[in-house]
């Protein structure tokens, strides 16, 4: 009888631990979603005001940035590095074109199509990593998680090629 009661108590504790773990995960995902949306909104607004993106590009950038940060803060940081370095490279290229091309016209704002072309594959891979890891940041470990490591390599390679 006592053994049966101990088993019931252990089982109850097990269910309580699972419930608490689930609630913590849910709370952390809600907080992460809020941070993702707020940060993406700020950055997209800043890029539109700075004229790096037009309005449609800002909206697409908001969606891509929200998804990337939600997948992992690391992927959000990687997207920001890509955005700022490619913007700087575009600016340097624009100055060079302006000097050398008599028919050069001002512009250079990226639209939704350019944003998605330069980020959709990496964003899809980032969401795949998030799904496979249960929305947790994990360290690279090719022995324990070769698929995740390969997907992260794909994300890095994608942004390297687009820049």
Collapsing DSSP states into helix, strand and coil, what is residue 53?
strand
Q: What is the per-residue pLDDT for 16?
A: 58
Query: Which domain does 66 fall in, by range?
Result: 2-162
Question: For the chain, what is the domain count?
Answer: 1
The residues, ordered by sequence, that sit 6+ positions from 31 with a Cβ below 8 Å of its Cβ are none
CA angle 140, 135, 38 (to 5 degrees): 110
Grouped pLDDT means (10 residues each) for the chain, 163 residues: 60 59 70 94 95 95 97 94 88 73 61 94 97 85 87 95 86
pTM score, whole prediction: 0.77
- Give the residue from 43, 54, 68, 47 showing the smallest Cα distance to 121: 68
């Amino acid at each position: 009888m006592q053994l049966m009661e101990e088993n019931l108590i252990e089982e109850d504790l097990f269910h309580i631990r699972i419930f608490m773990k689930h609630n913590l995960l849910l709370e952390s995902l809600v907080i992460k979603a809020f941070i993702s949306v707020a940060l993406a909104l700020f950055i997209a607004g800043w890029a539109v005001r700075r004229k790096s993106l037009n309005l449609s590009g800002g909206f697409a950038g908001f969606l891509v940035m929200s998804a990337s940060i939600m997948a992992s803060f690391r992927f959000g940081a990687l997207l920001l590095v890509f955005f700022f370095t490619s913007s700087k490279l575009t600016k340097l290229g624009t100055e060079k074109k302006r000097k050398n091309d008599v028919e050069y016209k001002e512009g250079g704002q990226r639209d939704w199509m350019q944003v998605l072309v330069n980020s959709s594959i990496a964003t899809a891979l980032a969401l795949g990593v998030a799904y496979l890891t249960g929305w947790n940041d994990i360290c690279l470990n090719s022995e324990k998680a070769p698929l995740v490591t390969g997907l992260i390599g794909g994300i890095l390679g994608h942004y390297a090629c687009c820049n």
